[in-house]
Amino acid sequence: MENSLQSTWIGVDVAKRHWDVVVAGQTQVHHFPADQEGCQQLQQFLAQHQVTHACLEATGGYERMLADFLREQGIVVSIANPRQIRDFARAQGQLAKTDRLDALVIARYAVLMQPKKTKKPSENERKLGSLRTRRQQVSDALTREKNRLGTQHDDLVRQSIEEAIDFYQRQLEQLDQQIQQLLQADDQFRERSALLTSVPGVGATTAAALIAHLPELGSLNRGEASRLAGLAPINRDSGTLRGKRMIGGGRAVVRKMLYMPTLVATKHNRVIREHYQQLLQRGKAKMIALTACMRKLLLILNAMIKTNSTWNDPRET
């Protein structure tokens, strides 16, 4: 672990136009504009306080420039899940939420929780992530327009909706083509995609989504992979009460995109199909059985990437 007792942490609340920075152990909040001028001011601040580590929340992209700048200054950057920060604040009795208070909470969180270093993504990883995010946006918009078409009876409005559907379908095709071109142009992407798509049920779209949204795949153990995707069962037990196991947390986008491939795999992948049928025979509800199959499929994919192995069902050889 790169953190040490001599580390000097800063907590940063990232907004669109400014950064609020707090040195761990202090209460003063320093305000910097989120631009090149702010970077110059922050550079002096980092040197003055001998900062070694920085913790900031994921903010949908606003944190990218700051994270890149901090790494250029030799600062170890940890990008934390906003929900974890908020839960930490509630645990400390901090219910109010402002930029100043958030920066203070992030600094305390960094010192006490010592979050892991966040690896800088490559240019192709960032591009793939952007393309995949846009594809999901277009896909969601297409679904909404199709739903509107089913409830609309006015001819002019239906024509407008049909034109929108046509536009989004063309956008989707174009994005899929761009994603596949990028996967083929990058050696690591191409190799991973070939491994993933060798599994019955996993197509090119799912492979691209996994590469983009779960780049850690192959470097995780079973528990880590399940938790990162939010597919690890969570106990709800207290005293004599034995509650139902539930899933949650993690990366919702990974869970969402594993659903359809797993559904297909329950019919066309022998390993997943048999696991699904065994769970049903034991009295499990279909959705619970399907969720367990999602977890099993994810663990299979993680093991394949880790060992650089294509799909091989010994019972089919």
226, 128, 225, 133: which is closest to 178 by C-alpha? 128
Residue 27 near residue 100, CB atoms below 8 Å: no
What mean pLDDT do residues 96-110 have? 90
- pTM, 2 dp: 0.78
Tell me: do 73 and 171 sit in the same domain: no
Binning pLDDT at 50, 70 and 90, where does residue 315 land? low
Q: How many Cβ atoms sit within 10 Å of the Cβ of residue 22?
A: 25
- CA distance between the termini of the chain: 44
With tokens 């003063």, the residue in question is: 28
Whether the pLDDT of residue 316 is over 60: the answer is: no
Whether 236 is in a domain gets the answer: yes
294, 267, 272, 143: which is closest to 210 by C-alpha? 294
Tell me: do 191 and 317 sit in the same domain: yes
User: Hey, is 32 helix, strand or coil?
Assistant: strand
What is the residue range of 163's domain? Answer: 125-185
Whether 317 is in a domain gets the answer: yes
In this predicted model, what pLDDT tens digit does every residue of 216-251 receive, in sequence order? 899 888 888 888 888 877 665 555 555 566 666 678
Tell me: do 181 and 200 sit in the same domain: no
Residues linked to residue 54 through DSSP beta bridges, in sequence order: 10, 77
What sign does the dihedral 41-44-45-46 (CA atoms) show?
positive
Residue 8 near residue 48, CB atoms below 8 Å: no
Whether 120 is in a domain gets the answer: no
Tell me: do 228 and 302 sit in the same domain: yes
In this predicted model, what pLDDT tens digit does every residue of 263-305 receive, in sequence order? 999 999 999 999 999 999 999 999 999 999 999 999 999 999 9
Whether 206 is in a domain gets the answer: yes
What mean pLDDT do residues 87-109 have? 89
